[in-house]
Amino acid sequence: MQGSFFGDLLAAVYLLAFVLGGVAVANRIFYKEDMLTRLTVGATMGSFMLMWFPSLFSFFMGFNLWSHLLAFVLMAAVTVAVSLLVKHHGSFAVKKPVISVHDVVALTFFGFVFIYYALTLSSHTIPIIGGDVHTGQCTYGDMNMHLGFITSVATQGYFPPEYSILPGTPLNYPFLCDTVSSSLYLMGCSLRFAYMAPMLLAMLQLMSGFWLLVRNWFKDKAKANVASVLFFLCGGFGFIYFMDRLREDPDNFLRIFEAFYNTPTNLVDEGNIRWVNIIVDMLIPQRATLFGWSVLFPLLAVLYKAVFENEDKYFLPAAIFAGGLPMIHTHSFLALGLICATWLLWRLGRSVLDDHPHGNQGKKYINTAVLIAAIPTVICLLYALINLVLNDADRLDPASRSLYIALPAIGLVAGLLLAGVWLLVLNVINGRAKDLACTWLVFLAVTLVLAVPQLVKWTFSQVGEGTMLKGHFNWGNINDNYLWFYIKNIGVVALLAVPALLNAKKHFKVVAPALVIFFIAEFVVFKPNVYDNNKLLYVSYALVACVVASYMVDAYRALKKADIKGRRVLAVIVLILCTFSAVLTMHREQVSDYVLYDKHQLAAAEYIEKNAPSDAVVLTETRHNNAISSLTGRNIVCGSSSFLYYHGVNYHQSQQDAMLMLMDPIRFNDLMEKYSVDYILVSNYERSAYREFYKLYSGGYPGYTTEINENMLAENFELVFSSGDVNIYKVTN
């Protein structure tokens, strides 16, 4: 866990080498673009190679130093090959840039965001204070899971990975966001460095990629800056719940900074507020989302150029990025698919209009396409409504109700596919087959060749468990009016979304995928946890926020042109309303501090790390903050249901068996052999969990007390570690 200085240095050099390799490749392929684009796309390429190249070799030879040496050789070979094969178009050096006031604003804003992100991530990533391991509010849960994935892959070397919290079960979670840190941890660096370094790089890629997308789209840096503020400091009107009776009860406001999850962007029980700030509740704790978006937004910045500015040669590198997304972040891959499908429909429609410049024939074809798309959607929507009303939705069996709710989304997808086929046929008839084959067909073919094996091996198996992909309407709303729920959660952006979209004009073609994503995400959930649909909804929000930002900037410029007094004050008030909830939440997160593992649990983890074989199995209870599974990389019999359930994994038998073995490992020796238990850990966590288990199952196992029989453990197994409330017994096979 602690690593060494040499390990930190080696890991840093390895990471930097991949980044520089990516930048060298991007410098050749994207020679026409400015330095920021080449640096951003290049760093993204480097991170992408670091996630994928070691994995390619690890499938055949395990996750070890040899696979990483070969990955480094492959990266170097790709860099050299691109340098030799792609025609030289000048050096990386560029003219001295002209710094505008908008550039200064962007640097200031993103500097603030990155410094905040780095400081908060640092204070939350397993610092040892007074002998205990601490963390913050947002990382108290998910970070334990990610640490376990990172350490188990690096320690055990088994690939593709299995759950260390449910041994023998394939890891269907998009694991590349964690194996990128496993690669660095394998070099001998500290777990803290391995966890943080790739995240900081990914955050830079995301910030720059998003800004580039908006700049490329609107050709306006001011709009890119405002859109960045709306996206990264997102938050609605949740602060109002803490302003009530401020004089009489100041504690109502102060609980933002003291209570657990009582923030203006996450106040579920009291205010039905769940539109979280993405920095605090997405990009710090949820690594898959961070790494997915760190690829998605630079990719969209490139794909925008390919689709709307006829940079056809960008389709191939974009396809490689897209094809590698599923095991980085499946939701980002799905969002990208919907965006590309909508943009392709636009391009097909644009070509039809270009082929019929005179008369109304082209418009008739487009109207037909719209009708083709609308008919299945409307039919499915009406059919679902009729059945849900006539059959009383609450009385339907869950499968039927789920299907009816999902029907509108199914109808939309079917309609878009049919409309696409219609427009495609028209394009082929008009002689555009070659153009499509060299652009979109290349993109689709390469993407599918790379993505389908991932989807078949990992994603589809999760769906087959039956806990994924079901109908559900209205995302996370609980008993609020539909419109009011989104207005109070999203805030100013929700209020301005409709006029901004109506005013979008030529920009509507770019933002249209946001409406498709939102519609589908409102009727279908893709994981057992409905909340996780926000990983799609935020991509939709990002595109809409760009249009709203454009609308706001245009409105301000109109006020300026008309010389309206007080426009600056009005602009400041609007920005405060947009960001106040986010700023309060961010401050609360920065000052949050919780003990994740106390010094006795940490000492137990250090003992296991130094003395237990890499494939050892430790019997513990199923808490989420398990120092053994998170810090040592060793297996435990069963981990937390808060992780396993939401991954669609069947863990119930292992969970019960773990408690039976704690009850009496001698009587249940067959289970001890089944799970190959090497160590038994008993702490206050196990003692408390056993009491709850005994209350539920004591009737089936008479003769036992409400306490773990530690005398029996001491008589039959060797006590090899004891510290505070923690004892570890070694099982002799």
Q: Answer whether residue 669 is part of any domain.
A: yes
DSSP codes joined into one string, 219-246: S-HHHHHHHHHHHHT---SGGGGGTTTT
Q: Answer whether residue 6 is part of any domain.
A: no
- pLDDT tens readout for residues 577-597: 999 999 999 999 999 999 999
**Measuring CA to CA, how many Å separate 133 from each of 183, 295, 488, 596?**
23, 31, 37, 6
Q: Answer whether residue 168 is part of any domain.
A: no
Separation CA 595–CA 133 (nearest Å): 6
Q: Cβ of 706: how many Cβ atoms within 10 Å?
A: 12
Q: What is the pLDDT of residue 390?
A: 78
- pLDDT tens readout for residues 616-650: 999 999 999 999 999 999 999 999 999 999 888 89
Q: Cβ of 356: how many Cβ atoms within 10 Å?
A: 17
**Measuring CA to CA, how many Å separate 630 from each of 131, 157, 623?**
17, 16, 11
Q: Answer whether residue 187 is part of any domain.
A: no
Show the tokens assigned to 463.
């769906």
For residue 87, give the 3-state DSSP assignment: coil
Which of the four pLDDT bands, split at 50, 70 and 90, describes residue 205?
very high
Q: Which residue has the tokens 């990629």?
A: 209
**Region 130-158: what's the mean pLDDT?**
96
Q: In degrees, to the nearest 5, what angle opens at C-alpha 689 toward C-alphas 684 and 695?
A: 130
Q: What is the pLDDT of residue 230?
A: 98
Separation CA 114–CA 120 (nearest Å): 10
pLDDT at 466 over 70: no
Residues 585-618 as b or e (16 or more Cβ within 10 Å = b): bbebbbebeeebbbbbbbbbbbbbbeebeebbbb
Q: Cβ of 339: how many Cβ atoms within 10 Å?
A: 24
pLDDT at 465 over 60: no
Contact 330, 174 (CB under 8 A): yes
Q: Answer whether residue 663 is part of any domain.
A: yes
- What is the DSSP-derived secondary structure letter of residue 97? P
Q: Cβ of 670: how many Cβ atoms within 10 Å?
A: 9
**Region 101-122: what's the mean pLDDT?**
96
Backbone φ/ψ region at 634: left (φ over 0), alpha (ψ -120 to 50), beta: beta
Q: What is the pLDDT of residue 95?
A: 58
The answer, yes or no, to whether the previous bond of 160 is cis (omega within 30 of 0) is yes
Residues 194-229 as b or e (16 or more Cβ within 10 Å = b): bbbbbbebbbbbbbbbbbbbbbbbbebbbbbbbbbb
**Of 236, 272, 709, 713, residue with least CA distance to 491:** 236
Q: What is the pLDDT of residue 252?
A: 87
Q: What is the pLDDT of residue 88?
A: 66
pLDDT at 379 over 60: yes
Separation CA 507–CA 530 (nearest Å): 31
Contact 605, 132 (CB under 8 A): no
Helices vs strands, H then E, count in the chain: 31, 10
Q: What is the pLDDT of residue 89?
A: 60
Contact 336, 325 (CB under 8 A): yes
pLDDT at 90 over 60: no
Separation CA 324–CA 450 (nearest Å): 6
- Per the document, the length of the chain is 733
- pLDDT tens readout for residues 692-726: 888 888 777 887 888 899 999 999 999 999 999 99
Q: Answer whether residue 647 is part of any domain.
A: yes
DSSP codes joined into one string, 327-351: TT-HHHHHHHHHHHHHHHHHHHHHH
Show the tokens assigned to 74.
């492959």
pLDDT at 154 over 60: yes
Which of the four pLDDT bands, split at 50, 70 and 90, describes residue 97?
low
Separation CA 107–CA 120 (nearest Å): 19
Separation CA 652–CA 673 (nearest Å): 18
Q: What is the pLDDT of residue 467?
A: 58
Q: Which residue has the tokens 């249209």?
A: 512
pLDDT at 576 over 70: yes
**Measuring CA to CA, how many Å separate 564 from each of 492, 548, 557, 561?**
22, 21, 10, 8
For the packed helices 287-308 and 191-218, what is the interaxial angle rounded to 10 degrees? 30
Question: Could you write out the three-class secondary structure of 461-526?
Answer: HHHHCCCCCEECCCCCCCCCCHHHHHHHHHCHHHHHHHHHHHCCHHHHHHHHHHHHHHHHHHHEEC
Number of domains in the chain: 1
Contacts of 197 (CB under 8 A, 6+ apart): 11, 12, 15, 181, 184
For residue 620, give the 3-state DSSP assignment: coil
Start-to-end CA distance of the chain, whole Å, equals 28
Q: What is the pLDDT of residue 700?
A: 76
Quickly list H helices, 360-480: 361-390, 398-429, 433-436, 442-454, 460-464
**Region 559-575: what's the mean pLDDT?**
94
pLDDT at 105 over 80: yes
Cα torsion 41, 44, 50, 56: sign: negative
**Of 140, 146, 247, 128, residue with least CA distance to 195:** 146
**Measuring CA to CA, how many Å separate 21 from each of 15, 40, 199, 245, 376?**
10, 13, 19, 58, 48
- pLDDT tens readout for residues 642-695: 999 988 889 999 999 999 999 999 999 999 999 999 999 999 999 999 998 888
**Region 87-97: what's the mean pLDDT?**
59
pLDDT at 10 over 90: yes
CATH of the domain at 634: 3.40.50
Higher pLDDT, 524 or 462: 524
Domain that holds residue 656: 598-730
Quickly list H helices, 562-598: 567-591
pLDDT at 96 over 90: no
Backbone φ/ψ region at 471: left (φ over 0), alpha (ψ -120 to 50), beta: beta
Q: Cβ of 99: how many Cβ atoms within 10 Å?
A: 9
Chain-wide mean pLDDT for the chain?
Answer: 93
> Rounded to 5 degrees, what are φ and ψ at 42?
-65, -45
Q: What percent of the chain has pLDDT over 70?
A: 97
- pLDDT tens readout for residues 322-366: 999 999 999 999 999 999 999 999 999 999 998 888 778 889 999
**Region 73-86: what's the mean pLDDT?**
93
Separation CA 718–CA 728 (nearest Å): 8
